[in-house]
């Protein structure tokens, strides 16, 4: 019995090493102090946790040290023209040479207002959703889960309970895209 458990652990560890070596690490750059520091730190932790559940490692780097191939999180005071009136952010998943996410500061601030400690969790889900668009290579949404176009109170509750996540299909697509280097090039 102990031999089987040891073999299983070795297999699991080898699989983890393969995943990291296979290119499932993603670098993300966001200006420090873009938000209240504890909110920002919790958001990065939350986004990292969400991606870790699908065996993708997020590496956060200071904006000043941002490598060319990284995903860049930018803030706009207001929404860019042409986006949904309820969108909190947008990603540009079809631009393979520039991985940019734009958060609409006025809308995000309104969403986070009065949420206290939950603000970081919500911001982390916003970041994970937009990073998901870049890594999926699509701007499409789903009827349920993390990739919904808008979240309701039930979704917010699921966020706080760490249950709002990528679907199995999106999880597999993200990992396959990363391993194959199709959408996100790491130099």
Domain holding 111: CATH number? 3.40.390.10
**57 in a domain, yes or no?**
yes
**37 in a domain, yes or no?**
yes
Q: Which range of residues forms the domain containing residue 160?
A: 23-180
pLDDT score, position 40: 94
Confidence band for 16, pLDDT divided at 50, 70 and 90:
very low
Instruction: Point out the least confidently predicted range of 6-10, 102-106, 110-114.
Output: 6-10
**11 in a domain, yes or no?**
no
Confidence band for 98, pLDDT divided at 50, 70 and 90:
confident
**9 in a domain, yes or no?**
no
SS3 124: helix
Mean pLDDT (whole number) for 170-179: 93
Mean model confidence pLDDT for the chain = 85
**14 in a domain, yes or no?**
no
Q: Which residue has the higher pLDDT, 12 or 174?
A: 174
pLDDT score, position 7: 37
What predicted TM-score, i.e. pTM, was given to this entire model? 0.84
Res 65 pLDDT > 70: yes
For 52, half-sphere exposure in the C-beta direction (CA atoms, 13 angstrom radius) is 8
Measure the CA–CA gap between 138 and 31, rounded to whole angstroms: 25
Measuring CA to CA, which residue among 127, 100, 99 is closest to residue 111? 127
Q: Tell me the Ramachandran region of residue 57: left when phi exceeds 0, alpha when psi lies from -120 to 50, beta otherwise.
A: beta
Measuring CA to CA, which residue among 57, 30, 56, 21 is closest to residue 127? 30
**5 in a domain, yes or no?**
no
Mean pLDDT (whole number) for 118-129: 97
Measuring CA to CA, which residue among 79, 100, 88 is closest to residue 30? 100
Measure the CA–CA gap between 64 and 66, rounded to whole angstroms: 6
Please state the domain count of the chain.
1
Res 10 pLDDT > 50: no
Task: Quote the percentage of the chain above a pLDDT of 90.
Answer: 70
Mean pLDDT (whole number) for 79-91: 93
């Amino acid at each position: 019995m102990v031999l089987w458990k040891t073999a299983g652990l070795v297999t699991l560890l080898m699989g983890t090493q393969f995943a990291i070596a296979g290119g499932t690490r993603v670098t993300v750059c966001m200006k420090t102090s873009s938000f209240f520091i504890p909110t920002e730190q919790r958001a990065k932790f939350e986004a990292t946790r969400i991606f870790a559940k699908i065996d993708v490692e997020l590496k956060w780097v200071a904006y000043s040290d941002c490598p060319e191939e990284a995903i860049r999180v930018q803030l706009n005071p207001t929404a860019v023209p042409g986006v949904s009136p309820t969108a909190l952010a947008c990603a540009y998943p079809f631009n393979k040479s520039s991985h940019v996410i734009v958060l609409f500061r006025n809308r995000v601030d309104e969403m986070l207002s009065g949420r206290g400690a939950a603000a970081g969790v919500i911001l982390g889900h916003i970041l994970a959703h937009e990073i998901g668009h870049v890594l999926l290579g699509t701007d499409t949404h789903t009827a349920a889960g993390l990739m919904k176009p808008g979240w309701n109170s039930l979704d917010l509750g699921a966020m706080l309970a760490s249950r709002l996540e990528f679907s199995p299909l999106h999880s597999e697509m993200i990992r396959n895209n990363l391993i194959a280097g199709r959408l996100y090039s790491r130099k």
